[in-house]
Copies of this chain bind each other. A is one copy, B any other.
Amino acid sequence: MPMDNLLKEILHLNSVSGDESRISSYLIGQIGKRKRSWNVSPEIFFGQNFHDNIILVFGNPRTAAFAHMDTVGFTSRYENQLVPVGGPEILEGTWLQGRDQAGDIRCKLQEKDGNLFHDFPRGIQRGTLLSFEQDIKISDGYIQAAYLDNRLGMYALLKLCETLENGLIVFSTYEEHGGGSMPFLLRFIYENWGIRQALIADVTWVTDGVHLNEGAVISLRDSHIPRKRFLDRIIQKADESAVPYQLEVEAHGGSDGREIQLSPYPMDWCFIGIAEENPHTPAEKSAFFDLECMVKLYQYLMQNL
């Protein structure tokens, strides 16, 4: 699975949490073009009533797969200060970019006494969103770039769309900062299709037990714990699929799964994603082999779960 134009293009779109309208519009355009070549043409829900979220319904869905579209970043405050959106790694000298009413912005991140600043020569309008400058590097089966979290999850689900017969795909907002679009999305998909199984297509960290090039990651827990009965079924199906995968066990961290756990619907959930190094930096790094495994595992599970 080499780099393709779709992945490249979505890696160049900014979408700091709260400001996902551009990537959402781009995605709707792509879906419109691509769906003619998909095995099944989905019903599409989006627009003002959906607050930049996108829902695709294929056939008779039993399981929903979620990928968030937003990224970490910064909000400009007063006196050249910046405030984090989500949890970006704070690396002195990181290039940031964005745009306010006075024009394009390119500046460096600076930290003094625990406070964050930019070095842009002019003031930046209050509330302007900045994010990492993109710099994609491909080599030897690896991709290194900003925003792999969660462009890789979005990309995997778009690949899944090509062959999906029955299933529900959701591109969501606000995952990196406070959440809040999931409750609405869950209500919509539960009330309309009675969805009771959910998979979270997102990026996780390389650790002692999770490594690059060792397959998709099935998370048995993070700060929240999925129901054991559902995990057992997923592992059984993953074994049947013969797709390489790794099992993750973490004490901390979270995903959109948290909001499914807390929802007023009896919906099981599990995180199935891809590992990366250097999370929430401009140089997140993942392996194409793992991305391929992730796509194949989703193809199998959406069909067989």
Contacts and interface: CB of A to CB of B under 8 A. Distances in A.
A202 interface: no
B83 A227 contact: no
Interface in A29-88: 49-52, 75-79, 81, 83-85
Interface string A246-268: 01011100000010011111101
A183 interface: yes
A85 B224 CA distance: 9
A52 B231 contact: no
A49 B197 CA distance: 12
A241 to B, nearest CB: 18
A83 B225 CA distance: 11
A221 B127 contact: yes
Given A184-B266, A208-B78, A178 B52 contact: no
Contacts of A126: 209, 220, 247, 249
A187 interface: yes
A226 interface: yes
Contact of A184 (B180, B209, B231, B263): B263
Given A18-B228, A52-B227, A184 B265 contact: yes
A208 B83 CA distance: 14
A135 B160 CA distance: 51
A299 interface: no
Interface in A135-185: 174, 177-180, 183-184
A17 interface: yes
Nearest to A225: B18
Given A220-B75, A249-B126, A18 B83 contact: no
Nearest to A186: B264
Given A75-B249, A183-B263, A249-B83, A127 B18 contact: no
A127 B77 contact: no
A75 B225 CA distance: 10
Contacts of A21: 228-229
19 contacts: A18-B225, A21-B229, A51-B227, A52-B227, A52-B229, A77-B208, A78-B208, A79-B208, A83-B249, A83-B250, A83-B251, A126-B247, A127-B247, A174-B225, A179-B261, A180-B262, A183-B262, A184-B264, A187-B264
Q: Which are the 3 A-B pairs with shortest beta-carbon distances?
A: A78-B209, A127-B220, A183-B264
Given A21-B229, A126-B209, 10 more contacts: A17-B225, A18-B228, A77-B208, A77-B209, A84-B251, A126-B220, A127-B221, A180-B262, A184-B263, A264-B264
Interface of A: 17-19, 21, 49-52, 75-79, 81, 83-85, 126-127, 129, 174, 177-180, 183-184, 186-187, 207-209, 220-221, 223-229, 231, 247, 249-251, 258, 261-266, 268
